[in-house]
Chains A and B, each alone.
Chain A
Amino acid sequence: MSTVATGQASGRYARLMTSLLRGTLRLDVLVNKLYPTDFNPLYYTGGLSNLFLFTLVLSGIFLFFYYDASLGESFASVQYLTDRVPYGGIVRGVHRYAADGFIVGILLHLLRNWFTDRHLFARDNPWISGMFLLLFAGFIGFTGYQLVWDERAQLLTSMFVAMLRSIPAAGAALTRLFIGGVGISDGTLVRILFLHIGPATALYVFLWWHYVRQRHPKIWPPGVWVLFCVGLVFLLAGAVPVTRETIPAATPAASPTRFPMDVFFLIPFWLLNFLPAGVVVLLLVALFVGGLAIPYASRRETPVEMGVRHSGVAQVIDGNCTGCELCYYDCPYNAIVMVPSPGPGLSKAAANRSLLAVVIESRCVECGICIGACPFEALELPKFLERDVLRQVGEAVQA
């Protein structure tokens, strides 16, 4: 890292990324002054997002029982929920502000892991699944605004339909698919309700994909932050009630032209003020594809060119491995699997082994943690051997 930081980075992009990395870590130092490292929220951005998602699911289940998906009734049912049901308005507010928190958490998580190079090389799996999580989260937020079926929802729907229409060839069919027929009907709201809840379920599938290459993922923030975030969401729901923005119910006759904005979910619709629908669609697709390409296109080529130590994929020394599984438990990326041993090892300890460790090369990030785990000298990083370390120790002690 210090080798990266001290100037081997070449090119404007590399230098920018290096300064962003240093800036991120500098911010950590400041936060650590206030919160001890085990409470530092920036170390738990993923856990925070997960906490908000959990809040969303719980409050969403509550809201679901009161929601009536039809053109005439949906606005009235939301109104009833907000005004008549005890604390219904609070739960609705919690659902809304937790959604904002979810997006903020995801973006913090994304930027932090981008700037600290935790998406590169063998670690692209969480990045790619994370892009899908972000895409789905944005879409779910958008359908959430439609469910209320006030004038904003009506306008959003017509804008979204315009965006769909602008897609060449498939546009008309997609529009029919989305609104369920030629015009907006009761069926449309049922579809939107499904498009709100179905992708939310899919988020958990993507989360499984997000975690699958990680041993012990940190999926929950420390207690202080659970209290703080849930508290903040409740406080906002009480202090800035959702009923503050009075938007009239949608009526077929109304042709609204403006609505209160929301910075987290409705930015693409804000862009429609300046750009034609087709360009906005193109922009969104470009953003998504660009996001998917980041770990491959933006890396500063090989680790050598990036100036970080390149130690090579960990190698198991077959003859020494006793099959004790210690490396298997410690590898943070699940890069080591235990296979039935094809035969006894060479060393005395390995003579009766029944398992053998195997490193899956495409998953190994060359961190060397398994080297420290193995008590039998059966693992080596090819470019930084135990021999080299011990020689350095010898020099250090002699000198």
Chain B
Amino acid sequence: MRSIYVVGIVVLSGLSLLFAVGIIYGEATDQWFLGGGFVGALLIAYSFIVLLLRQVGLIGPRKTER
């Protein structure tokens, strides 16, 4: 189970790297909608990374809401 999560994290990190490249590409070619859309995609990828990190147990819940 844990290894599936780790694979998921790696895949998502790769994806977010791709999205970051997309942001730069959109910015460089003045396609602002493209760039902005990639910002969103990047944040969503981050959110799933955070979820998987939580599932693996690397980050805990907030201290007050353990």
Contacts and interface: CB of A to CB of B under 8 A. Distances in A.
Interface in B28-66: 32-48, 50-51, 54-55, 61-62, 65-66
Nearest to A235: B40
Consensus secondary structure, chain B interface: helix
Given A38-B62, A234-B39, A227 B44 contact: yes
Contacts of A93: 36
A233 B36 CA distance: 10
B43 A234 contact: yes
Interface in B4-35: 32-35
Q: Which 4 A-B pairs have the closest CB atoms?
A: A238-B37, A231-B43, A234-B40, A235-B40
B33 A90 contact: yes
A83 to B, nearest CB: 9
A225 interface: yes
A237 B43 contact: no
A231 B33 contact: no
A228 B43 contact: yes
Interface string A226-263: 01101111111111010000000000000000000000
Contacts, number: 81
Interface of A: 35-36, 38-39, 86-90, 93, 222-225, 227-228, 230-239, 241
A232 B32 CA distance: 16
A220 to B, nearest CB: 10
Interface residues of B, number: 25
Contacts of B40: 230-239
Nearest to A91: B36
Given A227-B46, A231-B44, A238-B34, A39 B39 contact: no
A90 B50 contact: no
A238 B39 CA distance: 9
Nearest to B36: A90
Interface of B: 32-48, 50-51, 54-55, 61-62, 65-66
Contacts of A236: 40
Given A87-B32, A224-B51, A234 B37 contact: yes
Contacts of B48: 228
Contacts of A89: 32-33, 36
A88 B36 CA distance: 10
Contacts of A237: 33, 36-37, 40
A268 B66 CA distance: 44
A280 B37 CA distance: 38
Given A38-B65, A230-B43, A224 B50 contact: yes
Given A38-B66, A227-B47, A236-B40, 9 more contacts: A38-B61, A90-B32, A90-B36, A231-B40, A231-B42, A235-B41, A237-B36, A238-B36, A238-B40
B35 A87 contact: yes
A225 B47 contact: yes
B54 A238 contact: no
B46 A231 contact: yes
B43 to A, nearest CB: 3
A224 B47 contact: yes
A227 B37 contact: no
